[in-house]
Amino acid sequence: MGVDLLQSSARARDLFSLVDDVTGLPITELCEQGPLERLTDTEIAQPAVVATSLAALAVLRESLEVFEPAAVAGHSVGEFAAYVAGGALDEEAALRLVHARAQAMAAACQTVDGTMAAVIGLDQDVLRGVCAEASQDGSTVELANLNSPGQLIISGDRAAIDRAAERARAAGARRVLPLTVGGPFHSVYMRPAVAALDAALSTATFRAARVPVIANVTAQPITQTEDLRHELSVQVYSPVRWIETLRRMQELGCDRFIEVGPGTVLSGLVKRTLPEAHVVNFGALADLEGVRSLVAEAAG
């Protein structure tokens, strides 16, 4: 993950060195060599994803004469990289906050046998009712990620997830797919992580964003420092309203999207939510020509 960027850019190498220093963890080595099982641990995965995204952002800024988005958004932990892209955090501050978040969330995960599952082909209001019915005897399941029409993620205690999966299939879901994750993210079970995260947020230096950041929690544009700080606190236990986020960006005039960082998951969500939008991803040098073409179209 990010190896191509590491090998081609001094700025990317500096960022990976920074995340190693900030976390005290061998993030660079794990990104280069694995093993995957270790790389997907919560404490490793979150800073690794953000570092790779920041490295990709740095390479884009080096490679393009003009690269200033009209608005930015990040899905879950990706919101930290979005803050950097929007000028609200510098790279070191973002990586320190992600490290604190990952540690706090990993600790919260130890208190519950929790997981997440993808529900395909069910309306979100129906699924919200399913989750309410499946939450019993102190065992809770909630909507966690509203990713795209027909693709929703639920999160919670494993027993409640199992009950919700059965009820979702009975309600007409085409598929319910267990996810390999470190815990029940974006659910009430992450509330214990807030105190440690807030302590880190209180000492971090935020700036007013240059461009609107569309917040996960509200799907509204934010730019002011206290709003930005509050968003990063509450989003760990709140649903990611990604469908509304993309539609809000469209309302702001965004019709071209660049996914910056590892993978193409978000590009797929854009295509499903905004079929008329143009979208490319940038996670390796081979993707650069597609980004150049998209930026040229926007400028033209």
Q: Which residues are catalytic?
A: 76, 186
The residues facing 145 across adjacent strands are 153, 240
Could you tell me whether strands 221-222 and 213-214 are parallel, antiparallel, or unpaired per DSSP bridges? antiparallel
Could you tell me whether strands 141-148 and 151-157 are parallel, antiparallel, or unpaired per DSSP bridges? antiparallel
Query: Tokens 């800024």 — which residue?
Result: 61
Q: At 121, which helix (H) or strand (E)?
A: none
Instruction: Classify each residue of 138-169 as buried b or exposed e, where b means 16 or more C-beta atoms within 10 Å of its C-beta.
Output: ebbbbbbbbbbeebbbbbbbbbbbbbbbebbe
Closest CA to 227 of 244, 212, 248: 212
The CA distance from 153 to 13, in Å, is: 34
Give the DSSP letter string of 13-63: HHHHHHHHHHH-S-HHHHHHH--HHHHTSHHHHHHHHHHHHHHHHHHHHHH
Closest CA to 213 of 47, 63, 89, 49: 89
Three-state SS for 188?
helix
